[in-house]
Chain A
Amino acid sequence: MLRISGLSAGYHGGTVLHDLDLDVPEGSVHAVVGHNGAGKTTLVHTVAGLLRPATGTVEVAGRDVTGRPAHRIARAGVGLVPQGRRVFARLTVAEHIRLAHRPPRAAGGARPWTPQRVLDLLPRLGERSTHRGTDLSGGEQQMLALARALLGSPRVLLLDEPTEGLAPVLVGQILDLVGTLAGEGLAVLLVSPSPASAAQCADTVTVLTSGRVTARLDGPAVRKDPAELHEAMALTAH
């Protein structure tokens, strides 16, 4: 569903990601782990179109979206839950939902997301519908960011450190939710500095070091024996 090949990207003058290949099939969770500065957020932003890649291609559902502006990529079926949530400070929850709701252009395989369906999944948002983005707790903001991404009925969901700064119980909930969403056919790219949380729901785990893929592990195997992943992370510490 999401296919990245030979991707390089960076900021003024410096390349952060080097020749990266990545494949996220429909209905699976691909976790990318790495230390700070490894290029995780750069990867997510490049896929979402917030950053233009220097080389390489990004394909969504077989369509080449490389270098398209962010809103086009969103319409091609990419939803983003950014690091730090970035909910709209001056919009209420209800307005977020209204703004983000976009019936899918082409009938995809998956059931489209409606405000009602999102509220059923995240009932807490329904209770807070008149609150502004910044008046929500961290967990609620995360739910709202997720709802905002889902309401475009994406086929690829990008999650940038979705468990950052959340209480352990919420972390578990969010990761369960990720598993559920993948079960419904979404291709999920989850980026996280923490190998434990990434491994919890991933089908594949990629270790990113200084913008390069240094290990690629099988999710279930990692869950059975996390030693290999920890080793891969430790090896790449510096």
Chain B
Amino acid sequence: MGALDAQLVPAVDGVAYGLLLFVVAAGLSLAFGTAGVLNLAHGTLYAVGAYTGAELSDGTWGGLVLGLVAGTAAACAAGAVLSAATAPLARRGHLDQALLTFGLALIGGNLLVEGFGADEMPVRVPDALDTSVDLLGHRYPAYRLGFIVMAVALAAVGTWVLTRTRAGAAVRAAADDPEMLATTGLSPRVVHTGVLAAAGALAGAAGVLGAPIIGPGPSTGDTVLMLSLVVVVLGGLRSLWATLVAAIGVGEVQTLGVSVAPDWAPYLLFAAMAVVLILRSGRGLAEPHGPEHGADPPPDPAERLRRRLARVPWPWRPALAERRAKAAARTAAKAAAADGGGARTGSGRVAAAARAAAPLLALIAVLALLPTVLDAYSLSLAGYALALGLLAVSVTVVTGYAGLPTLGQTAPFAVGAYTTAKLAENDWTVGPVQVAISAVAAAAFCVVTGPAVIRARGTTVLMITVAVGELTAIAIGQWKSVTGGTDGLAGFPSTQAFWGGEPLFEELAIYQYAAVVVVCVVAVALVLLRSPAGKLLTGSREAEERMRASGHPVTRYLLVAYVGAGALAGAGGSLLIAVQSYVSPADVGFEIAALALLAAVIGGITSVIGALVGAGLIVYTRDWLAGSWPGHGPLLLGVLFVAAVYLLPRGLAGLVSGAPRAAAAGGGDDKGGHDAGEGGPAGRPGGAGRLPAPRSPADAGPPEPADAGSPVRVRKGPT
């Protein structure tokens, strides 16, 4: 009884915290379930409310009410803006929308810091509530009890609207079958906008009222987003009650858990999330009908603009007909070469090999030229970009080739980085040895985590990998004796490029070492991805059922791909150490995971070289460009995210292979996609986008041949 009594305050705190999360997470869950938008800017909407509330709070009731009205309205408007921004991408699937919202979150977060300062803002609750009351013999802040009442009221009103009103029925109908909702005369688009606006309003109201609990500060958005994601995953999208239970559970872990078992509480959330997802992965996290399938809406404006631009006869661009003729000739030549078999001429073979190696040769040429144009500082950034690039390549393999969208490759990246750091601490400073051991360690890590990841499909994978990444980051933060905790590791000897070599200090030497490692690793990856093994992977991504039916152990292929990608990430982690000579949890956190995914997406999701270029672009934007406009790194990155999603639906690889191919339409036999060179499909004929929405078996149409010219498809759970 005594123990129970001592924990009463944190337990009640947990209820308040949980209710706060419920109000926020309900909006997130609703937006995902109804509009199919995985809104990574949801935490930012909370922050909008929290900042507004804090700014207007002056210790009076009037201030609170004013703040509530203004904060709710602001967040509601922001939600409507998000809806308008994501609507054009509805047909492209969840990943593009998620990336867009992440970009908008970065921009929004930066603007909030700009407007309200980088410090946590104090909040003044109304004086009448700024006292403590007696709660079973304990002093307890009156505001928190008041908050519990207000949050219950908010949750009750929301639940009532959703379950008892016609508008609520429309929302649930939109989640079920947007087309059928349209045939009853209601616009699914309007319902989606309404849901996102309402979700924003809820988050904003929660932000204003909850500001004294999770206060406004630079990290508010991220904290709230992460916790809400956990709640949504644990609650499972289906029932509000389950979401409520999950929210209270998470709230208790954050308060009671920290009070009872401070060492274990941090793991508990993401471990619970991972366990729930893995147990559910057979059914999947109820994948919503996000994109309005079938209902051929007008093509999205960005796509229309790009098509129009593609038709403009730019002087430097060969005429369309000429390009098509060339492509046709190439295809014919390939076919002839294939038919010729043994009779293939020597020069033909050389030409084919040269073509196959062209992207790699181009990469080598660019990497070799960079030191002549960059100064020392930029060169060190380029070295960092190479390390991030390997991480992005690893994401490309998992997301683009294996079809499992991932935000968790930072975990093997971290394993690689810390392995190299520990090796260096023990005077194992030879570079190739560091890279090899780190890659093996990361691969071993993936052997352990793989089974949890590869069983799921679609957005569930995204969530599981977030959990894997976060758990790894938390473990690194907690395991101070080995990892140095949040301070990280530093002060170990520098890497040598080879046995008996000089330790690498000079930027140029470090860059050269990184470039050589990247070229070697990427060459290996390209050879493997283009081999028959790579084709098997593509096949199992495109037509998993069919591959299984043909006797292919798809799960094993996926595991191999995941482990291989882990090794790539591990090598990248090792490079990170060689390049920057220290590592901390911030180097392997969620933001880096999102950046790596963006790099892969910018590159064209199946383009290895594209991923490296994407990573370069990101580092250039975040570190170099932001250097000339200090404090605006996140803003610039956010703009990059938004621009990449809108303007490059098929990534850089899509630009290289040329938009006109989209007009070629038709089946998946357009092998011209290979000519982009990066060993993978450059894009989807018909402009269906880089990651089309998961197709249901019903509309999958005739099975396409399992070749690499087919569209990239995010896996979906069995239906």
Contacts and interface: CB of A to CB of B under 8 A. Distances in A.
A131 B295 CA distance: 29
Contacts of A100: 184
B179 interface: yes
Contacts of B184: 71, 74, 99-100, 102, 148, 151-152
A195 interface: no
Interface in B275-306: 294-298
Interface stretch (B167-175, B352-360, B449-457): B167-175
A90 B170 CA distance: 11
User: Which residue, of B183, B185, B186, B688, has the highest number of chain A Cβ atoms within 10 A?
Assistant: B183
B295 A50 contact: yes
A82 B295 contact: no
Interface in B151-176: 166, 169-170, 172-173, 175-176
Contacts of B516: none
Contacts of B189: 69
B405 to A, nearest CB: 23
Interface string B673-696: 000000000000110100000000
B182 A88 contact: no
Contact of B295 (A51, A80, A102): A51
A43 interface: no
B176 A90 contact: yes
Nearest to A81: B183
Contacts of B172: 88, 90-91, 95
A223 interface: no
Nearest to A95: B169
B318 to A, nearest CB: 24
A162 B665 CA distance: 34
A211 interface: no
A98 to B, nearest CB: 6
Greatest chain B CB density within 10 A among A75, A86, A95 is at A95
Contacts of A88: 172-173, 176-177, 180-181
A178 interface: no
A12 B294 contact: no
A51 B173 contact: no
Contacts of B187: 69, 71
A37 to B, nearest CB: 12
A80 B183 CA distance: 6
Contacts of A78: 183
A88 B173 CA distance: 6
B649 to A, nearest CB: 15
A95 B183 CA distance: 16
B137 interface: no
B684 to A, nearest CB: 10
B686 A152 contact: no
Interface string A121-157: 0000000000000000000000000001101100000
Contacts of B185: 71, 74-75, 102, 152
B666 interface: yes
Interface centre among A48, A70, A74, A80 (most CB of B within 10 A): A70
A179 interface: no
A52 interface: yes
A98 B166 contact: yes
Interface in B562-595: none
B294 A90 contact: no
Nearest to B294: A50
A99 B166 contact: yes
A49 interface: yes
Nearest to A12: B686
Contacts of B173: 88, 90-91, 99
A168 interface: no
Interface residues of B, number: 29
Contacts of A82: 180, 183
B702 to A, nearest CB: 12
A70 B169 contact: no
Interface string A52-87: 100000000000000001110011001110100011
Nearest to B186: A71
A76 B175 CA distance: 24
Nearest to A151: B184
Contacts of B181: 71, 88
Nearest to A70: B182
Contacts of A86: 177, 179-180
Contacts of B294: 45, 50-51
A50 B180 CA distance: 9
Nearest to B684: A12
Given A12-B688, A95-B169, A70 B179 contact: yes
B175 to A, nearest CB: 7
Contact of A49 (B180, B182, B685, B688): B182
- Of B175, B176, B189, B294, most buried by chain A (CB within 10 Å of CB) is B176
Q: Which of A82, A87, A100, A152 has the most CB of B within 10 A?
A: A100
A89 interface: yes
A89 B685 CA distance: 34
A189 B170 CA distance: 27
A28 B563 CA distance: 65
Interface string B171-213: 0110111011111111111000000000000000000000000
A13 interface: yes
A99 B170 contact: yes
B191 to A, nearest CB: 10
Nearest to B685: A13
A71 B182 contact: yes
Contacts of A149: 183
Nearest to A152: B185
Contacts of A148: 180, 183-184
Given A12-B665, A95-B169, A98-B166, A74 B183 contact: yes
Nearest to B295: A50
Contacts of A13: 665-666, 685-686
B173, B176, B179, B685 — most chain A CB neighbours (10 Å): B173
Contacts of B166: 98-99
Nearest to B172: A90
Contacts of A69: 182, 187, 189, 295, 297
A149 B166 CA distance: 17
A227 B131 CA distance: 90
A74 B169 contact: no
Nearest to A9: B296
A148 to B, nearest CB: 6
Interface centre among B296, B297, B686 (most CB of A within 10 A): B296
A78 B180 CA distance: 12
Contacts of B295: 49-51, 69-70
A74 B185 CA distance: 5
Interface of A: 12-13, 45, 48-52, 69-71, 74-75, 78-80, 82, 86-91, 95, 98-100, 102, 148-149, 151-152
Given A48-B183, A71-B187, 16 more contacts: A12-B686, A50-B183, A51-B296, A52-B296, A70-B179, A71-B186, A74-B183, A82-B180, A86-B177, A88-B176, A95-B169, A100-B184, A148-B180, A148-B184, A149-B183, A152-B184
27 contacts: A48-B183, A50-B182, A50-B294, A50-B296, A52-B298, A69-B182, A69-B187, A69-B297, A70-B182, A70-B183, A71-B183, A74-B183, A74-B185, A75-B185, A86-B179, A87-B180, A88-B172, A88-B176, A90-B176, A91-B176, A95-B172, A99-B166, A99-B169, A99-B173, A99-B184, A99-B186, A152-B185
Q: Which 4 interchain pairs have the tightest Cβ spacing?
A: A70-B182, A13-B665, A74-B185, A80-B183
Interface of B: 166, 169-170, 172-173, 175-177, 179-189, 294-298, 665-666, 685-686, 688
